[in-house]
Amino acid sequence: MKTLIRNGLVLPLTTKDALFEGDIAIDDGRIAALGADAASFIPDKTIDASGCIVMPAFVNAHTHLAMVLMRNYKDQGNLFQWLHEIFPIEDKLNKDDIYAASVVGAAELIKSGTVLFADMYFHASETARAVYQAGIKANIGFTFFGDLADSKKRLAERMPPLEKVLRNDGMIEVDPSPHAIYTTTAESYKFASALACDLGTRLNTHVSETRKEVEDSIKEYGKTPAMYLESLGVFDASSTYIAHGVHLTDEELDMLSGKDTSIVHNPSSNCKLGSGIARINEWRKHGINIAMGTDGASSNNNLNLLKELNLALMVNSVSCPDFEQRFTPFEMLRIATSGGARALGRESEMGTIEKGKDADLIIMDMNQASTSPMNDPYSAIAFSSDRANIRDVLCRGKVLLENGKLTTIDEQLAIGQIIKAWKSIKER
């Protein structure tokens, strides 16, 4: 299938000045030519992007997709108070619940301009099924809790169903994902790290989300969370990406700066649960790659990266008094795209608009009252746009959202199924 996107304002996000008005040629799911080089391209399908921005699709580098089940449920309290309410619900969940919720979550991701996400949840095989149905990409987290015996049992029971679903097409990678140091033992972390090496993938975990987590770690291990994981060899055993990192110390950042580790910023969840304001300026000073995530829709309460990057800029302005040191809209857009692609090991295939990369793209209609006049396109996206501006979404050249309508998911059917699942869960 050959597709030509015409007359758009293209933001490659390689450099701030690389934007241009023109065309993008797509052949067999990849970007074949840009601008004047696309003049001789003969397409099977043409998409008119006049009055639109064309940019790389977003990467949600930390979420728990099926937690859309618990959207707007138990919205008060800090992380541990919230988990106390959520864990009993999660104990009731079955495979059908996870599938129904994952389809709805995938629909929301697409409508928010996201075509790659990193997940960490139960029954990964069911989320993988939803990913393939939706036509998006995922780094599916194979979640570990408990001690080594628990981890080995979980792997033996749940990896075979996942392997049956997986296709050898690169759309899904499997990343071992020990939940956190307060739910997962040292032996399980080492087991997960070894598995990541065997699979040739990455390790995903929560680190230093709250002050309590840090204080408890010091009491139990005599070390802060990241230094404790360093003592286990986690950061040397495999590439890693860690969620939240709100309370990482200078010592920990010094250590992480020498590792193949990314930190995923989740400002909405950090604010909602009162976890704190992450020191993303210090992360940048240490040369650590930063990605963006929403966390789950129970602690956010949505999966919208546009909202996330907007809030990230706002909070950064409040927490960084030096105007010159604040993140710019362009920089935050890079975090939400190429930063996420790098964190998930996908930077060679997506994150920027370049010849040879997958055609993972968003077309945003900027000819709306809320974004007119546009003036600076980067500011218009980060400060003025919302999901209503997202007109079309492509993943590997396949149109997943066309003129605001999902093409791979029956949205109303999916909503009906998740409502039915939630009613059943409450009655169990």
Which tens digit of pLDDT belongs to each residue from 183-224? 999 999 999 999 999 999 999 999 999 999 999 999 999 999
Domain 2-56+353-406's class? mainly beta
The third-level CATH classification (topology) of the domain covering 58-343 is TIM Barrel (3.20.20)
CA distance 95 to 308: 29
Cβ atoms of 388 and 306 within 8 Å: the answer is no
Q: Is the pLDDT of residue 95 over 80?
A: yes
Q: Domain boundaries in the chain?
A: 2-56+353-406, 58-343
| Segment 154-163, tens digit of pLDDT | 999 999 999 9
User: What number is the average pLDDT over the span 152-176?
Assistant: 96
What DSSP element (H or E) covers 178?
strand 172-178
Within 10 angstroms of residue 219's Cβ, the number of other Cβ atoms is: 8
Residue-wise pLDDT for 388-414, tens only, equals: 999 999 999 999 999 999 999 999 999
3-state SS record for 231-264: HCCHHHHCCEEEEECCCCCHHHHHHHCCCCEEEE
- Which residue's structure tokens are 């604040």? 326
Query: Which pLDDT belongs to residue 389?
Result: 98
CA distance 26 to 374: 27
What is 343-363 written as a DSSP string?
Answer: HTT-TTTSSS--TTSB--EEE
Q: Is residue 233 over pLDDT 90? A: yes
Distance CA 145, CA 177 (A): 9
